Amino acid sequence: MPLEFTFTEEQELFRRTIRELMAKQVAPRKKELLEARMCTPEVHKALAGAGLSGLLIPTEFGGSGSDYVTFILAVEELTRGDPTGFAGLPIWYGASCARLLSVYGSAELKEEILPKVAKEGWVTPLHNTEPGCGTDFTAITTTAKKTDDGYSVNGEKVLVSAVQEAIKYNGGFITSVKTRPELGSKGMSLLYIPSNSKGITISNYTGMGIDIGGIRYENTPVPERYLIGFEGTGYQMTYESFVHARVPTTMSIVAAAESAIEQGIQYLKQRKAFGKPIAGHEGLQFELAEDYANVQACKWLTYRAAWLVDQYHKGKASFFDAMTGASIAKLASSEHCVNAVSDVLEWYGGFGTTTEYDIQHIFRIVRQAVIAEGTKNAQKLVIAMQLLGREYSPM
C-alpha cells in the first residue's frame, strides 16, 4: 500500500462545505453562544441539518456511514470555525458516542434512536466519570438493579459533556453502570438512559472553556431494551469508546491551536513596537516557526490515529494499535498545542487576557480539553504498556 499524505476529492469538498457552513451559520453567532454557554437552537439546527450528527451512523439508519478520517476532518473544521467551543462539541462528541449504539445496540434500540440522532440531532453522550473515579473507570459505583421490566439506576456522574444539549434537543445518556457490583469490571454494563427519564437531577459546572455537567440518578427506571450489548460487557465497550472519543478530542486541541496561530499571525503583522510590526522581530519569528511546526506534527499524528481507527474497524490493525496511536497524538498535542496557544496569547500582551480577543477563550478550551478523555499521565500509561507489555501495568 503506497504511503500518501493526501485526502480524496470528496473529503476536500466535504471540508470546504463545513468551513463555509461554519463561516455563515456559526461565526456570526459567537456572542450568542458565549451568552448561552451551550449550543444554541439556530446553530444546532444548522449543524444537525447538515448531517454532522450522523457521520458515523450507518446509512440504513439515516446516517452517512463515513470513515473515521472523514469524521475527524469534520471535527477539525467544526473546531476551527467555532472560537467558543460551544457549537461543535455536542455534535461531534454525540456522534462518536452514538457509534456505540450502531455497533452494539439491539436492532430495536438502533431503529428507535439512531434515525433521530442522524436526522434530528439527538445528543447521546457517554457518561462514565464519577465523584470517586475518573481514569480508574472500573471503580464506578452507579448501579443498575434488575426489575420486572428493566432496571432501576442509582448513582452519580460528574464532569460530563453535552448534558444541557441532550436535555434541550432530546436524546439520552449512554451510562456506565454496575449490574453485578460484586464482579468488579466484569460486572460493568452500559445503558442508554433517555434524557427525559424520571429520577434524574441535572447540575452544571461553569467550565474554563465549555460548561460541563453532572447527573444524579435516583431509582431511575430504564426499560430492558435500553441495555447496550449484554450485561457484563460494559468494560470492553467503554474502553473502546475512549479511543473513539480521544481522537476527535485531540483534533479539537490541534485545530484550536492552529486557529490561534492564524489569528496570532495577523496580530503580529498589525501590532507595532520599536517602529515596526512585531512580526519583524526575530525572537517572535523563531517562536512562531517552532509553534507552527509542533502543531503541524501533532495534526499529522492525529490524522494517523484516525487512520489507525479505520484500520481497526477493517480488521487490519489491533485495538491496541489504535489505542496507542490515539494516546501518542493526545500526549503530544497536550504539550505542544497548549504551549503554542500560550505563546500566541503572550504576543497580544495584556489584551490577550481580555475578552477583546478570542485568544484567551481558545487557551481555556485547549487547556480544558487536555484533561478530557484521559490526562497526560493516562496517555503515558497506555504508551508504556504497549512498549513494555501489559504484564508491567501498574494498574
Q: What is the pLDDT along the chain (395 residues), one digit of tens a residue?
A: 567 888 999 999 999 999 999 999 999 999 999 999 999 999 999 999 999 999 999 999 999 999 999 999 999 999 999 978 899 999 999 899 999 999 999 999 999 999 999 999 999 999 999 999 988 889 999 999 999 999 999 999 999 999 999 999 999 999 999 999 999 999 999 999 999 999 999 999 988 888 899 999 999 999 999 999 999 999 999 999 999 999 999 999 999 999 999 999 999 999 998 989 999 999 999 999 999 999 999 999 999 999 999 999 999 999 999 999 999 999 999 999 999 999 999 999 999 999 999 999 999 999 999 999 999 999 999 999 989 988 887 76
What the chain holds in terms of domains, given with CATH numbers, is: 9-120 (1.10.540.10), 126-232 (2.40.110.10), 235-392 (1.20.140.10)
pLDDT at 395: 66
Amino acid letter for position 294: N
Looking up cell 513596537 gives 273
Q: What is the pTM assigned to this prediction?
A: 0.95
In this structure, what C-alpha cell is assigned to residue 382? 497506555
Check residue 4 and give its pLDDT. 82
Per-residue pLDDT, 98: 92
| pLDDT at res. 354 | 94
| The pLDDT value given to residue 1 | 52
> Residue 41: in which H helix or E strand, if any?
helix 41-49
126-127 and 172-178 beta bridge pairing: parallel
All three cell numbers of 146, joined, read 434488575
Dist. CA 83–CA 252, nearest whole Å: 11
pLDDT of residue 83: 79
- The span from the CA of 137 to the CA of 181, in Å, is 13
| Pick from 172, 162, 145: nearest CA to 214 | 162
Which residue, 43, 84, 22, is CA-closest to 365?
84
Residue 361 pLDDT: 93
3-state secondary structure 213-262: EEEEEEEEEEEHHHEECCCCCHHHHHHHHHHHHHHHHHHHHHHHHHHHHH
Q: Which one-letter amino acid corresponds to residue 115?
A: P
pLDDT of residue 317: 96
pLDDT of residue 207: 82
CA 246, distance to chain mean position in Å, is: 6
